[in-house]
Amino acid sequence: MSFLSNRHSVGPPVAYSPARAAAERSGRILVVNWNIHVGHGNVAALLHELSRRESANGYGAPNFVLLLQEALRRGNGVPSPRRSRIPRRIVPPAKGEDILDLAQKLNWWMFYAPSMRNGRLVGARAEDRGNAILSNLPMSFLEQIELPIGVHRRVAVMATIGGGHRSLFRVAAAHLDTRASLSRGWVFGGPSTRNRQAQALVSALEKVSDDGLPLIVGGDLNTHLGVHEASVKTVSKIVHRKRHGLKMTHRSGLILDYIFARLPDDWESGRCVRMHSPFGSDHYPLVLPIEPKD
């Protein structure tokens, strides 16, 4: 049985733009893909470590684009679930940050779209979770992409990075199902369900690709069978998978997380790196450094 009613028990998407943003930094752009596990991931600690590494390697202060899964949103804007069948709650840590609070604290641009409710709490304690894009660079053309339902509702997010008259590149963040519904084979039907969701994501991305903007996609694809699952191959047809070696990306020992990129030949791009620590999450961040050319 799938959770078809989830869309009626989550709040609306939310975007945040700082009133007075800090000046754009001179260093490289670090694109991070990370499942932050409803506030368990310590975003501030990761940003500090990445900035320290950039400085130690002789680069300037970096710009950041974070492609996040399992971002958390709290508050009265999340409606009561009533009798809807909803996913179980992933309990956030006591100091786990709401995605909007995090954006305001950093004074960064943010776009969040919920996929599903996070348990049955109501009122000011109500929660939903979904995908988010967070950056110290301006963001525009924000879109959400509804994916085919397997077990849970899944909504990917997309945005264009760059301010003023200069659009730099487009990004998307996605989180695919862990399994299929019982009628579609449950765990054994998971790969085909994920591939249907990947096909829908690719179709949406292809519709906006006519402008030729570079494209970066980050995702927790939940590929329990590894990098050879059909969903990985499907996304790779329009954006190349950036290899980070054979290191696991989840504490279970599985490779579930990916960055894909389609970049101009004259852009400098470093190697995709899996961080040494999950920084509190159950997933390890993946980082892709890029240097766009004018």
Domains along the sequence of the chain with CATH: 4-16+28-291 (3.60.10.10)
| pLDDT computed for residue 2 by the predictor | 45
Q: Which residues of the chain have pLDDT under 50?
A: 1-5, 180, 182, 185-186
pLDDT of 270 reads 86
pTM summary value: 0.94
Mean confidence (pLDDT) of the chain: 91
pLDDT at 164: 65
Strand 273-274 relative to strand 268-269: parallel, antiparallel, unpaired? Answer: unpaired
So what's the pLDDT on residue 1? 40
